[in-house]
Amino acid sequence: MIFKATFVILDCIAILIIGFITRLLSKNKEHYARDLRNAMLAALFAIVGNVFIALSWDTLVAQFSFILYFVSIDWILYWLSGFCLLYTEHFVATRRLKWPTLIVYSLDTLSIILNLFFGHNFTVYEITGADGSVFYQTQFHFFYYLHLAVDYAAIITAFIFLIYKIVKTYSFYRTKYAIIFFVLVLIIILNVVYMAFSLVLDASVLFYAIAGLLIFLSIRIFVPRSLMNSTIGKAVDDMSEGLILFDISNNCIFANEFSLHRFNIDLATFNFDSEPMKTIRKNLQLKNARFGESDYVVTDSEGNVVCHYFTRLNELTDSKNRVIGSYLLIEDVTNTMALMNELNEAKANAENANVAKSTFLANMSHEIRTPLNSVLGMNEMILRSTKDPALTEYAETIRSSGEILLSLINDILDFSKIEAGKMELFEEGYNPHKLLTECNDSFEQMAVGKGLYLTFKCDENIPSGLKGDEKRLRQILSNIISNAIKYTKKGGVTVEMWSESIDEKHLNLIISVSDTGIGISKTDQEFLFDSFRRVNEEENATIQGTGLGLSITKELITLMNGTIGVSSIEGEGSVFKISVPQEILSFSPVGPLRLIAEQKEYTYTETFRAPKAKILVVDDVAVNLKVVQALLKKTLIEVDTAKSGLQAIDMCRQKKYDLILLDHRMPEPDGIETFRIISEDGFNTDTPVIILTANALSGAEEEYRAMGFSDYLSKPIRSNELELAILRHLPVEKVELV
């Protein structure tokens, strides 16, 4: 009885162990964990069956217990075989063997259960032990050996795959498969011993718990940690950074290969495994003893930097944030610093190139706009004074050519503004018909001169009041219409406008410009909006332009959150379609479009007269002074002139002016210095000063206003802009509006 009681107690302990392992396995999400968990559950039933065998009081109870035991053994081996195949990653074999094996084991289980009725597998008989205890054993028949054959076939198949994996792998990967293999072999050996020696109780079931625990520890703890320690150690040694660990007493406990061999340290006298932190820091030339980041460099005999290191010393803490040591990271940033130096040098070169470009554009603008100011200014006076048709025609030709030249300069400067990100939109109310009418007035003569038609169409239901940047919209349309006329030899150009609603207060203004020109090839369409690039350069070499018009157009439309697209057939023409969102100010329909084409003679009427006003104009170019005097002649303003900054300063000390027009680029002192002196000394410290300049680069106006100038006029000076600027700053009591 003592033997039985001991056996039952051990079985109960095994049940508890298996239950614990099964619970742990239920938390494992690996694909093989389910099969191992099921094998452990089957082992639990086998042990329960073994307990009932030990406690059986008659042959019938013993037979039921043996049936439970043998059926459980079947499914232990089934699930263990599945676990072995999945754990060794033989997924194809698992899929192919799963269903045939399941059917065979199900039939085998049925055969064992039917033994209760037919007795074809085994019979149960009773024996008495030396202490008088009753034990029940089985006598096996032919079909039971078939049952054993099925079991051993399954486990041998699993062994084959395990052995194959052991042969094909190495290091800890081989170890983890070998552990599983030897655990399973031990179970089989114990089971064979039980059958071979006809033991009264099967002790091998006790080993199921031990085997399950060994397998679990192997796959979840021993092998992963061994692999982790091995791979982490190797990875740390292969790092391109140094790692040195210190304990809580600041003694070194580990240093990787980088730290051992990278520095000029005599390893015979310097032991990384026991040196104090202060000694290591001294040998590594780390002067800073505090925790944190620092740098140090290694130089050669000539003082050139050989290596540049970045170091970081941090504390190590446990899960409760208690200090348990520290670590020193040493990173070789020599290549990074070299790259940073190259990038900084490249950045400096780019900034210098940008400054050079801006300087060039400023000089170009000044050098071209200054004489152009004289040409257009004097030409304006010819148009005002002559009634001779021939002279008027010549002057109009000069004005037209000057406007074209000015347009080319403005294209380049607009592109500079866009590149600098300083292009701004100024939104105000406008009428869509006015936009189309002005475009018609600008290009009708150009079209007629080439024998082309220019047609404008507008949806009558478009709101009559929209808010947007009318000036930039006109520039966009002008660029596209101008190109359409340039590249069209016969036929003409049609401009259509309509709208699509966005919401109650906004719409998409859509404008289509179609022509019957030369068209654009599919290859050229890809580069149509590129800067400084013109399509079909050889054929169109005689056509004027910078190649910036469409690039600027695209950037302006993007700035307006709009879109532009083109469709074209070579030899038949092109269609440009623009869509820009606009705010609705007036919902009343714009109505029918009426374009009144009138051939007007040139007429000029001054905006105001101010005979009591006194202004001073300062410019080192005499002809520019004459231009301003001539343009303001009919306003009756009293105009004094100065040819230098020094002369202007003297005049401002002797006379009070209502307004000063001051050129920027003059011999010393220039306009900026002259303005500073006038603002501090003399009678004109509070007199408004308008800067006259050929500098129309991005941000120029803002810079001048920030210096204190009251207004800004770019050359060439237009008479209407000049009069409006003066009108804004003259005392109201001295102005008579015309």
Reported as type and span, the H/E element at residue 125 is: strand 122-128
- 268-326 confidence digits (pLDDT tens): 666 666 777 777 777 666 554 455 566 666 666 666 777 788 888 888 888 888 888 88
What local confidence, expressed as pLDDT, does residue 327 receive?
Answer: 85
How would residue 542 be classed by pLDDT, with cut points 50, 70 and 90? very low
CB 619 within 8 A of CB 665: no
State residue 270 phi and psi, 5-degree precision. Answer: -120, 115
- 407-447 confidence digits (pLDDT tens): 666 666 666 666 656 667 778 899 999 889 888 887 888 88
CB 198 within 8 A of CB 29: no
Q: Say yes or no to pLDDT of 19 above 60.
A: yes
Question: Pick the residue with more confidence: 210 or 109?
Answer: 109
Question: Pick the residue with more confidence: 221 or 84?
Answer: 84
How would residue 637 be classed by pLDDT, with cut points 50, 70 and 90? very high
Structure tokens at 731: 């005392």
What local confidence, expressed as pLDDT, does residue 474 receive?
Answer: 85
Q: What is the C-alpha separation between 581 and 147, in angstroms, rounded?
A: 84
What local confidence, expressed as pLDDT, does residue 227 receive?
Answer: 63
Average pLDDT over residues 200-210: 64
Non-local CB neighbours of 582 within 8 Å, separated by 6+ positions: 466, 467, 468, 506, 507, 508, 509
Q: Is the dihedral of CA 666, 667, 672, 676 positive or negative?
A: negative
Q: Say yes or no to pLDDT of 189 above 60.
A: yes
How would residue 499 be classed by pLDDT, with cut points 50, 70 and 90? very high
Q: Say yes or no to pLDDT of 599 above 70.
A: no
How would residue 687 be classed by pLDDT, with cut points 50, 70 and 90? very high
Comparing 457-461, 478-482, 532-536, 539-543, the range with the smallest average pLDDT is 539-543
Question: Pick the residue with more confidence: 558 or 282?
Answer: 558
Average pLDDT over residues 573-583: 93
CB 251 within 8 A of CB 330: no
Angle of CA points 230, 236, 238, to nearest 5°: 100
- Tell me the range of 17-26, 45-54, 631-640 where mean pLDDT is highest: 631-640
Q: Say yes or no to pLDDT of 645 above 60.
A: yes
Tell which residue, 493, 559, 491, 570, has the closest CA to residue 535. 570
Average pLDDT over residues 459-485: 89
Q: What is the C-alpha separation between 323 and 704, in angstroms, rounded?
A: 61
What local confidence, expressed as pLDDT, does residue 532 receive?
Answer: 47
What local confidence, expressed as pLDDT, does residue 53 receive?
Answer: 81
Reported as type and span, the H/E element at residue 509 is: strand 506-515
717 DSSP assignment: P
Question: Pick the residue with more confidence: 58 or 499?
Answer: 499
Going along the chain from its start, the domains and CATH numbers come out as: 2-231 (1.20.1070.10), 240-332 (3.30.450.20), 360-423+605-738 (3.40.50.2300), 427-589 (3.30.565.10)
Tell which residue, 564, 432, 569, has the closest CA to residue 496. 432
Structure tokens at 607: 């905006």
Average pLDDT over residues 534-563: 65
Comparing 3-12, 162-171, 602-611, the range with the smallest average pLDDT is 3-12
- 373-417 confidence digits (pLDDT tens): 667 777 777 777 777 777 777 777 677 667 666 666 666 666 666
Average pLDDT over residues 563-575: 89
What local confidence, expressed as pLDDT, does residue 545 receive?
Answer: 43
Q: Say yes or no to pLDDT of 510 above 80.
A: yes
| SS3 state of residue 638 | strand
What local confidence, expressed as pLDDT, does residue 541 receive?
Answer: 40
**Proportion of the chain above pLDDT 70, given as a percent:** 79
What local confidence, expressed as pLDDT, does residue 709 receive?
Answer: 92
**Proportion of the chain above pLDDT 90, given as a percent:** 16
Residue 288 identity (one-letter amino acid) = N
